[in-house]
Structure 1
Amino acid sequence: MDSTRRNFLWALSLLTLQGCALRPDRTSAARSSEPGQEPVLHVTWVGGPTMAISFGDLTILTDPVLGESFSMGDPNEPVDYRKVVQHHRSTPFSGIDPKVADLVLLSHAHEDHFDQQAWADLDRSLPILLPMADVRTVTAKGFRRVEGMQWGDMRRLAAGAGRAVFITAMPAHHSSDPKIAGALGKGNGYWVELTEGSWRRAIYWTGDSMPTEEVIAAARSRGRPDLLVPHVGGVGATGPFGLISMRASDVVALARAVQPRHVLPIHHSTYEFYREPISELAARSEGEAYRLDLIAAGSTVVYR
C-alpha cells in the first residue's frame, strides 16, 4: 500500500449536506471516479458487518470479519452464553484483499466485528478509527495507528484531488436498556460525508445500535442521509441481554425518523446467530419512502 495514501489530513470542521438523490447501479467490481467525471461512491458488502466503502483514492474497511469463522460466546444462548464457540459462515465468503484498505473504521471490537482472522491479516500500520473504549484492546493486538473517537468527534480524510471524506462518530446503543448497553460497552455509529466541489453525499452507518431517542435525535441533527446502513438480524432475542441488534421493525422506525433516500442493510444472513431473516425487512419496507437496496454478500452498489 502506497504510504502517501495513508498520509491523511486530519482536521476538525463541519459541512452542511446538500440534498441530492442517489442513483444506484449494481456492479460486481468497484471503479474509481476520475477527475472531471461525475463522482461515484462504491459500497461493497463483504458479509456480516464488513463493507469496503470506496470514494476517489480512499477505501474504508468497516468492522473487518475476514475468516470463515470466528470464536465468541453466543448472545442468543439463554444459559451458557459465555461459552466460547466457533461461529461459521452460513453463506460463502466472497473474500477481500485487506491490502485494498487505507483505513479501518470500527464500530466496536467484539469478535463478530473484528475477528481473529482480521487480527492476523491486517497490516499493523493500518490507521484505525474506533470507539475510545476499544483503543486499549486494539493497541494490545499490535496495531500502531489507533485513534479513538468520542461521540461528536469528526475527522477529515483526503480522498484525492478535490475530494474529501468527513467522518463523525455517532451515538450507538447496543441495547435499549441502558444497563445492558453499558455492560456491552460503548460503541460508535458513524456519519460519513463524501464531498467533491458542490457534490455531497452522506452515509449513516448505525453500527450495532437500537433506535433509541438519543440515537434518532443525533442522526436527525445531521440532516437527511442519502444512505442508511443499519445492522439488522435481531440478535439476542432468545438470550439474557435481549435484542442487541435491530429487527426489521426497528429499521423501518429509524428510517421513518431520519428519512434516508436509500437503505442498505448489512449484518444479516451471514451467520446463524442473525436470527431474523432479511425477507422480513423486505416485506416491511413495501410502501415506505426509501428505496431498499438488498444485495448479496460480495456485491457492490455504485451510487452517483
Structure 2
Amino acid sequence: MKMKIKLIRHATMRVTVGGANILVDPMLSPAGAMGPVADSPRQRPNPLVPLPVPAESLLNVDAVLLTHTHRDHFDDAAAKMLPKSIPVLCQPADGEKIASLGFTRVLPVDSALTWRELTVIRTGGQHGSGEIGRKMGAVSGYVLQHRGESLLYIAGDTIWCREVSEALDRYSPKVAVLYAGAARFLTGGPIIMDAGDVVKVCRQAAGTKVVAVHLEAFNHCLLTRNDLRRRLETENLGERVLIPGDGEELIFQPE
C-alpha cells in the first residue's frame, strides 16, 4: 500500500499507513486564537497562519497520534472537536490528561503496541538541551509499520540527540518526519531541530527520505522553509528533503 503524509499545518498531519488514516498532533485553532509563547521572539498571536482546510474535515480519521500535549500539538480546539470515542495513541505520561478530557479509548504506547495490524513503537528524544530541555517535559517520537511495509519514523519535538541517532540506526526508516523550525526562547538554544540537525539526520540515514514540518506557524519557530532549502542546497541535500506546504500531500510508493 502507498504511504501518504498530508501536512495540515505546523506538526498536524494526516498520515495513511496500511490503509489507516491517523491524525497526528492536531492543533485545530483558527489563526490568532492563542497567545504567543512567553519569553520567546516575535510576540505574535498563534497560530500564525490559518488551517488550509476546514477543521471539521479532519475529524473523520481512524485514530489520533500524539507526540506530547503541548498546545501547539494538541490544543483546546482539538480536544473539544474530536470524537471522544476515537482511539488516541500517546506517550504514557499523557494518558491520564487525555482521559480527563473525556476520551474513552486512550492507548498509551509504553515501548510498543499493535493496533489494527499496525505496529507502533515509541522512541525517545530531547525537547531542547540543559535546563530548558528538562523543563519542557517528556516528548516522544514513533515508528509506524504495517506488516512488511516500509517504516515511517516521526521524530517529534526533539533536537538531534542520541535517541534520534539510535532510532535511525535501529529501524532504518524509509521516511523520517522531522519537526524542524528551530523553535526557541529568548535564552538557550533551539528546542526542536534546526537546519544543522536536519543535515545530521541526512548524513546518518543515507537511505531515508526526510520530510521537514513544524515550520512558519508558531511565533517561536524561527527557521523558514526558504532558509532550510538554502542550507540544504549548500550541503547538496536539496533532493533528500521534502518541505511540504500547508495542505500538501506526499505519496510514497511501496518498495
| Alpha-carbon distance in 2 for matches of 1:288, 1:86 | 33
Quickly say closer, same or farther: Cα 1:72–1:143, change in 2 above 3 A: farther
Whether contact under 8 Å (1:189, 1:206) holds in the other structure is yes
Choose 1 or 2 for highest CA Rg: 1
Whether contact under 8 Å (1:231, 1:245) holds in the other structure is yes
Whether contact under 8 Å (1:232, 1:268) holds in the other structure is yes
Alpha-carbon displacement from aligned partner over 1:4-55 (angstroms, at most 9, x marks no partner): xxxxxxxxxxxxxxxxxxxxxxxxxxxxxxxxxxx21111100110111113
Show the counterpart of 1:31: none
Structure 1's unaligned 5+ residue stretches are 1-38, 159-163
Structure 2's unaligned 5+ residue stretches are none
Quickly say closer, same or farther: Cα 1:134–1:72, change in 2 above 3 A: farther
1:74 to 32, 37, 43: 37
Quickly say closer, same or farther: Cα 1:125–1:55, change in 2 above 3 A: same
The TM-score with structure 2 as length reference comes to: 0.88
Matched-pair identity in %: 24
State the secondary structure of the residue aligned to 1:65: coil
Show the counterpart of 1:185: 137
| Alpha-carbon distance in 1 for matches of 2:123, 2:174 | 16
Name the amino acid aligned to 2:237: E
Please tell me the root mean square deviation across aligned C-alpha atoms, in Å. 2.2
Runs of at least 4 residues off by over 4 Å: none
Whether contact under 8 Å (1:170, 1:219) holds in the other structure is no
Whether contact under 8 Å (1:103, 1:128) holds in the other structure is yes
Quickly say closer, same or farther: Cα 1:66–1:89, change in 2 above 3 A: same
Quickly say closer, same or farther: Cα 1:124–1:241, change in 2 above 3 A: farther
| Alpha-carbon distance in 1 for matches of 2:230, 2:45 | 31
Show the counterpart of 2:163: 214
Name the amino acid aligned to 2:112: M
Whether contact under 8 Å (1:172, 1:207) holds in the other structure is yes
Show the counterpart of 2:78: 118
Show the counterpart of 1:234: 182
Matched, 1:277 2:224: yes
Matched, 1:47 2:5: no
The TM-score with structure 1 as length reference comes to: 0.75
Name the amino acid aligned to 1:192: L
Show the counterpart of 2:90: 130
Quickly say closer, same or farther: Cα 1:56–1:213, change in 2 above 3 A: closer
Q: Counterparts of 1:51-66 in structure 2 under 5 Å?
A: 51-66=13-28
2:106 to 146, 163, 171: 146
